[in-house]
Amino acid sequence: MIDQLNEDYARLLEALNEANSSAELDAWYKEALGRKGHITLMTRQVGQLSPEERPAFGRRVNEVKKELEHAYRAQSARVQSAELLATISRDSLDVTLPGRRQWRGRLHPATLTLREIYRIWGDMGFQIYRSRDVETDEYNFELLNIPEDHPARDMWDTFHTTTPGVILRTHTSPGQIHAMREYCPEPIRVILPGMCFRYEQITARSEIQFNQVEGLAVGHSITMADLKGTLVDFAKRMFGEHRKTRFRANYFPFTEPSAEMDVECLLCGGDGCQVCKYTGWLEILGCGMVHPTVLRNGGYDPTVFSGFAFGMGPERIAMLKFGIEDIRNFWANDLRFLKQF
Ligand code: DAH
């Protein structure tokens, strides 16, 4: 039996070395090691041998099986690389096929607009001052001259947290107090960008979450003329030399006097549309001369120092610049919208 096995082994090994294609290899495997293959059948015969013959034959048949499997793997690898080489040298490579396009990310329209705003204010000598998103009632309202029972609080519907007195900022104005307390008594020229949150009805014009860019200048002899000149200059740099602007008197508790600045609606060219509420104008910011109480709360003596402040909405500005008709697009994560920028 063992002699027969050794003979078969030698024969199969020789046949394996002569198998030079995948098809031949497959046939060889089926014949030698497959379910009904020669060696497999021999393994099954162990049980029919006499007890004396059994151990030696069993050991040998297992050895033969392992060696043949090993040899088969080595021969397969050789055949495969030879076949690959043959294909490469035989077939030509078509270099005119278009490659796969790389997916490139892009910036969100709010980010694009924020960067443009930073650049313009940077050119005009304003630094960026980062202020927190989660605020206290004291900074968001009280220090800005809005006492607890003041009716002006209705202007800012507020998200409260479970900790009393801790809220999500409704505007970037509390950053004014942080900046003043840090820089006092030095002069200040900063912008304060960031996310604001309001518990409001979501419509085409207002979202519960949006960016603001606050601005603050504090120094000696700063006047309303500086405020107007600076903001008109900003609007020209942002929207073009010939863009019309206007100031309307308004009320804010933290500035006196206060105003709002409008830019001619770019979407309808001033004729009136859904975005400008059929007025032809789009309000882009609130502004004013910093209230003496606020200056004092920031550590500045209002008889010596004066300043102006403003707060603008970058999403509103992006709507003007890109012709976006609905503010809800900004945070809806719809790629059809985002891919356009
Ligand atoms: N904080 C105001 C708001 O959210 C905007 C604003 C108005 C900011 C006048 C100012 C300002 O700094 O002077 O409605």
pLDDT tens per residue across span 325-340: 899 999 999 999 999 9
Ligand 1: centre distance to CA 78 (Å): 76
Residue among 194, 195, 199 nearest 156 (CA): 199
Q: Quick: pLDDT tens for 253-312.
A: 999 999 999 998 877 878 888 767 899 898 899 999 999 999 999 999 999 999 999 999
What are the backbone angles phi and psi of residue 213, rounded to the nearest 5°?
-125, 110
- Report the C-alpha dihedral over residues 158, 162, 165, 168, rounded to 10 degrees: -40
The residues, any chain, with a CB within 8 Å of residue 23's CB and separated by 6 or more, are none
Q: Quick: pLDDT tens for 190-214.
A: 999 999 999 999 998 889 999 999 9
Ligand 1 binding pocket, CB closer than 6 Å:
171, 173, 214, 252, 255, 258, 286-288, 309-311
Q: Share the mean pLDDT of the chain.
A: 92
Residues linked to residue 209 through DSSP beta bridges, in sequence order: 197
Q: Could you give the CA distance from residue 285 to residue 334 in angstroms, rounded to a whole number?
A: 27
Residue among 327, 256, 248 nearest 283 (CA): 248
Amino acid letter for position 74 = A
Q: Could you give the CA distance from residue 172 to residue 144 in angstroms, rounded to a whole number?
A: 11
Contact yes or no for 255/289 (Cβ under 8 A) = yes
Residues linked to residue 246 through DSSP beta bridges, in sequence order: 262
Burial class (CB in 10 A: 0-12, 13-18, 19+), 116: middle
Looking at the whole model, is its pTM more than 0.75? no
**Res 329: pLDDT:** 96
Residue 311 CA: nearest ligand 1 atom is 8
Among 173, 224, 287, name the best residue to mutate to test ligand 1's pocket (greatest count of ligand atoms within 8 A of Cβ): 173
